[in-house]
Structure 1
């Protein structure tokens, strides 16, 4: 008979559940029921019950999830008994979690492991001659449109207004969405969606009112399209050109500006 999952206390109020590889060969609902029962029992005397699962163990990850444990992230470089470093996916359930059988509990469980995508909001501001406001950044050589990362739970349209005010001291009401640009994984970054909103036309004299966030913004200036090409990365220049085209053609979708 397959051994029962094992629970041991690993800290004050914290227990860790493990199971044998044989458990994964059982009928899946039976295996989930056995792990779930052990987790629920452990929560009677612990505030938190966790499981550490190998990223390569797809069945183990499914078992932990459907036993009601939320995926919390990956611990990198954890030493194993032989001294080698390995990554482990951390799953946990705490006393305060809503029961999985309730809608809120089930949604929270799904939310813990479904993919999440980073969103970036940028603003297309032009002067009367059609030049685009570009920022020279302190943390990279390439110039970019003003804007930044959308916070969790924040509207992308509100986010770009917040970022422009924080980084440039400009209060601008973002207009319509011009462009959705998908950015593939690159240089250590996960993929992301970049949303470019219409910032309208402002006088060049607006530069005199800019108050730079000096940790991030080294300078700002209006650039003609050929200047954007000289100062920005290729994919950024393509995004700016696509956003300008959308002013007349309507909202567009690109991938890395194409």
Structure 2
């Protein structure tokens, strides 16, 4: 009796096919399975411009086979019966034996971490031995006040991002200074973990507030706040981050914290 095929191609649409493989192929070991699937993908790309695979999110072996067969991870398809990880290879993707092709493959599945850039802007009373006051924003989408800043866009410098965010949110042009603090934030409230980067925004006259033009969609208002007011208005981890950034600025603290600690 002839051996049954271990892979199957199904048409998704013109030029696009989906590859699947049987459990007996996996039983041979993932490396042996990769040899088979890689050949089938290469053969399919002769006649189609895209070959994709969808594997269970919890199936580490299937994900390994898809990856090392040259299929790039594209994302997760959420399903009620269990999420599927989507992989694909296009006919014009760089060959895996080329440095650019192999780097692109690695880049598709290696972990990525969200970065949030914020600016520590102070009033210049801090230069007269007074308690520092820090510029906080009252946000439209949450009760807690926060430092100005936001998410760093893909392929954007964090230092450029924080300057952009301050301009977009507050209508201010403030040159970002040195990095004061790197603060890792664990998963919280539906968010994945992230790295917070706090840059020095310098000391400014209190009249800076008069120049603020809040972005209505995100910012209700902004104010210079004492540390006691920071403790009252901001989330506890934000308050810790601000105190840690101030200590770093003064040269008395660390430059790395986790949730402000």
What band does the TM-score fall into relative to the shorter chain?
over 0.9
Counterpart CA distance in 2 for 1:214 and 1:10 is 44
Q: Which residue of 1 aligns with 2:23?
A: 21
Aligned length: 252
CA contact (8 A) 2:117 2:149 kept: yes
Q: Secondary structure at 1:172's aligned position in 2?
A: coil
The CA deviation at 1:33 is 1.1
1:11-58 CA-to-partner distances (Å, cap 9, x unmatched) read 121100000011112143321111011111111111110001001211
**Paired residues for 1:1-258 under 5 Å:** 1=3, 3-77=5-79, 85-129=81-125, 130-249=132-251, 252-258=255-261
CA contact (8 A) 1:2 1:23 kept: no
Displaced runs of 4+ in structure 1, greater than 3 A? none
The CA deviation at 1:187 is 0.8
The CA deviation at 1:140 is 0.3
The CA deviation at 1:8 is 1.6
CA RMSD of aligned residues (A): 1.2
CA contact (8 A) 1:97 1:105 kept: yes
The CA deviation at 1:10 is 1.4
Counterpart CA distance in 2 for 1:12 and 1:226 is 63
| Segment of structure 1 superposing worse, 221-230 or 29-38 | 29-38
Q: Secondary structure at 2:248's aligned position in 1?
A: helix
The CA deviation at 1:4 is 2.8
CA contact (8 A) 2:244 2:254 kept: no
1:120-167 CA-to-partner distances (Å, cap 9, x unmatched) read 000000001221000000000000000000001111011000000011
Q: Which runs of 5+ in 1 are unaligned?
A: 79-84
Q: Secondary structure at 2:260's aligned position in 1?
A: coil
Counterpart CA distance in 1 for 2:4 and 2:142 is 56
TM-score (norm 2): 0.94
Counterpart CA distance in 2 for 1:43 and 1:214 is 50
Counterpart CA distance in 1 for 2:203 and 2:70 is 52
1:196-225 CA-to-partner distances (Å, cap 9, x unmatched) read 000000111011111111100000000000
Counterpart CA distance in 1 for 2:27 and 2:79 is 28
CA contact (8 A) 1:2 1:22 kept: no
